[in-house]
């Protein structure tokens, strides 16, 4: 478990997730590719004082997603996010 006071919860990157997915995402479920924990994205652990925003699994601390600001926009790296559920969307 992550135990320091530099992090925020996943709601801190709600705006970024909304840009990426075109919808409110903090209540959607995501699965950690490292430990298999399933949590709402709003319950992830977010570090915004790293170079960019780093979103970590609340169970094991693995990096799920990194977003870095570039002069031309934002670069998003999906690291250890096995899947995300998008409720109420047909495949
Ligand atoms: Zn995990």
Mean pLDDT of 59-79: 92
Between the CA of 46 and the centroid of ligand 1 the distance, in Å, is 14
Between the CA of 33 and the centroid of ligand 1 the distance, in Å, is 7
Instruction: Report whether pLDDT(83) > 80.
Output: yes
Between the CA of 4 and the centroid of ligand 1 the distance, in Å, is 17
Between the CA of 13 and the centroid of ligand 1 the distance, in Å, is 18
Between the CA of 87 and the centroid of ligand 1 the distance, in Å, is 21
Tell me the whole-structure pTM to 2 decimals: 0.81
Q: Give 3-58 pLDDT, tens digit per residue.
A: 566 778 877 788 888 888 899 999 999 999 999 999 999 999 998 877 788 999 99
Between the CA of 11 and the centroid of ligand 1 the distance, in Å, is 18
Q: How far apart are CA 24 and CA 28, in angstroms?
A: 8
**Non-local CB neighbours of 82 within 8 Å, separated by 6+ positions:** 30, 31, 32, 33, 36
Instruction: Report whether pLDDT(2) > 60.
Output: no
């Amino acid at each position: 478990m992550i135990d320091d006071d530099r992090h925020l919860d996943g709601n801190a990157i709600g705006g970024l997730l909304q840009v990426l997915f075109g919808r409110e995402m903090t209540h959607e479920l995501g699965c950690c590719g490292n430990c298999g924990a399933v949590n709402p994205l709003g319950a992830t652990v977010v570090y915004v004082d790293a170079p960019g925003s780093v979103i970590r699994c609340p169970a094991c601390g693995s990096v799920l997603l990194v977003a870095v600001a570039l002069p031309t926009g934002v670069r998003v790296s999906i690291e250890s996010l096995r899947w995300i559920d998008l409720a109420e969307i047909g495949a």
